[in-house]
Amino acid sequence: MATNVQSIVPDAASAASLPKQPSQAAERWRAFCRRRAALVALVILAAIVLACIAAPWLSPYDPYAGNVKERLLPVGSAGHLLGTDEQGRDLLTRILYGGRLSLLSGIVPVIIAVILGGGLGIIAGYFKGIINTLIMRTLDILFSFPAILLAIGISASLGPGISNIMISATIVFIPPIARIAETAVKEVKKEEYIEAALSSGAGTGLIIRFHVVNNIFSRLFVYSTTQIGICLMLASGLSFLGLGVSPPTPEWGFMLNNLKQVIFIDPIVTIVPGIFIFVTSLALNIVSDALSDVLDSKG
């Protein structure tokens, strides 16, 4: 019996000569770049974000000051690439400035929801029992509202304002994100490295910080990126209903709201700001689609 046991090829030595592995991040970036559509979408997205940030340097116009003589100039007019709005303000300028709030209201609620919902989901998933029931059943109730209706209800109650839109969007995104986190934590808890950590005498806080959070992060991240496009649409929808900014602040959803009154005069100008909502959310969806393909593959 012992003869069998002693036939040894040292595995540590043989593996030391393994070729140097490229880092995971670089591998994934290359996988992402192989998806042409995703790369194009990422470039478009970056261009839109940068243009909105750099609006004051890109546009010579004041987003608030209009020229009555130049109302509703068509797309492609000299000096006004995308025409002017119902008050004679340059549309492109307003879109670039407006994008700042629109993009923020797409991203900020998701980030806050990841922190709050992720936190709740981790607590619920880690502790099980009564704490889990309490947290998850409460969130289930929020989840049983159609998202846009819940957001409208909360926004309407809080009163108009872009920050109130962000608050209501955050509340809408907390339950699904918490659910993803909870499921992921429950799976991680079954891993033996958690048992190993427990038997080393580690406290709950340390285990969550070093063994739970980093192991659920990529799933949470992938899911959250798919929510940014949805959040952008939700927020601009609320804004479109007049629940967001008040005039004359530019914001994509609200600009559509203002321009819809002149749709019978110039339908093209009316729909221009919507192109930006559409292209941004489409690009976000394509990028997040590719991200989930690239990151979800277990590595």
Partner 1 sequence: MEHILEVTDVSKTFSLRGMFGQSKGGVSAVNGVSFTLKSKGTLGIVGESGCGKSTLARLIMRLIEPDQGQVRYKNEDLLKLGGSDLKKMRKRIQMVFQNPYSSLNPKLTILDNVAFPLWANGTGRAAASTQAYRYLDAVGLPKSYAAKYPHHLSGGQRQRVAIARALVLEPDIVIADEAVSALDKSVQAQVLNLFQDLKKEFDLSLIFISHDLHVVEYMSDDVMVMYLGGVVEKGPKEEVFANPRNPYTQALLKSVPSVDLAVRKAPETELLKGDLPSPLNPPSGCRFRTRCMFAEARCAQNVPALVEVGEGHHTACLLVHEGMAAVQNL
Partner 2 sequence: MVAFISKRLLLFIPTLFGVSVIVFLMLQMVPGDPVNTIVPADATEEERMRVTRELGLDKPIYVQFIYWLVHMFQGDMGTSIIKRLPVSELLLPAVGNTLLLAAASAAVSFGLGLAIGVYSAYRPKSWAASLFNVLGLAGIGMPNFWAALILIGIFSVSLGWLPSSGMQSIGGGGLLDTFRHLILPTIAASLTTLGVMTRMVRSTIAGLLQQDFVFALQAKGAPAGKVLRHVLKNGMPTILTVAGLQFGYLIGGSVLVETVFAWPGIGQLIYQAIGQRDFPIVQSGVLVVAVAFVLINLAVDSLHAVLDPRVRHS
Q: Which residues bind partner 2 (CB under 8 A)?
A: 137-138, 140-142, 144-150, 152-154, 156-159, 229, 233, 236-237, 240-243, 256, 260, 263-264, 267-268, 270-271, 274, 277-278, 281-282, 284-286, 289
Sign of CA dihedral 53, 64, 273, 252: positive
Q: Which is nearer to partner 2, 18 or 141 (CB)?
A: 141
Indicate which single residue of 141, 199, 264, 297 sits in contact with partner 1 (rule: CB under 8 A): 199
- Cα–Cα distance for residue pair 31/9, rounded to 1 Å: 36
Asked if 175 contacts 145 with a C-beta cutoff of 8 angstroms, the reply is no
CA–CA dist 104, 53 (Å, integer): 11
The CA-atom distances, in angstroms, between 19 and each of 14, 15, 22, 95, 144 are: 11, 9, 9, 51, 52
Candidates 30, 195, 267, 296: give the one binding partner 1 (CB under 8 A): 195
Q: Residue 242 binds which entry of partner 2, partner 1, none, with Cβ cut-offs from 5 to 8 Å by kind?
A: partner 2
21 binds partner 1, rule: CB under 8 A:
yes
Of 8 and 26, which CB lies nearer to partner 1 in the complex structure? 8
CB of 29 to partner 1, least distance (A): 17
Among residues 67, 87, 183, 215, the one that binds partner 1 under rule CB under 8 A: 215
Interacting residue with partner 1 among 29, 65, 79, 193 (CB under 8 A)? 193
Q: Does 27 bind partner 1 (CB under 8 A)?
A: no
Alpha carbon distance 270, 209 (integer Å): 50
Q: Which of 96, 135, 132 is nearest to 116 (CA)?
A: 135
Rg of the chain in Å (alpha carbons): 25
For partner 2, the closer of residues 86 and 202 by Cβ is 86
Secondary structure of 138-164 in HEC code, one letter for each residue:
HHHHHHCCCHHHHHHHHHHHHCCCHHH
Residue whose CB is less far from partner 1, 4 or 144: 4
> Which residue in 172, 202, 227, 229 binds partner 1 (CB under 8 A)?
202
CA distance linking residue 178 with residue 176, whole number of Å: 5
- Site residues (vs partner 1, CB under 8 A): 1-2, 4-12, 15-16, 18, 21, 24, 191-193, 195-203, 206, 210-211, 214-215, 217, 299
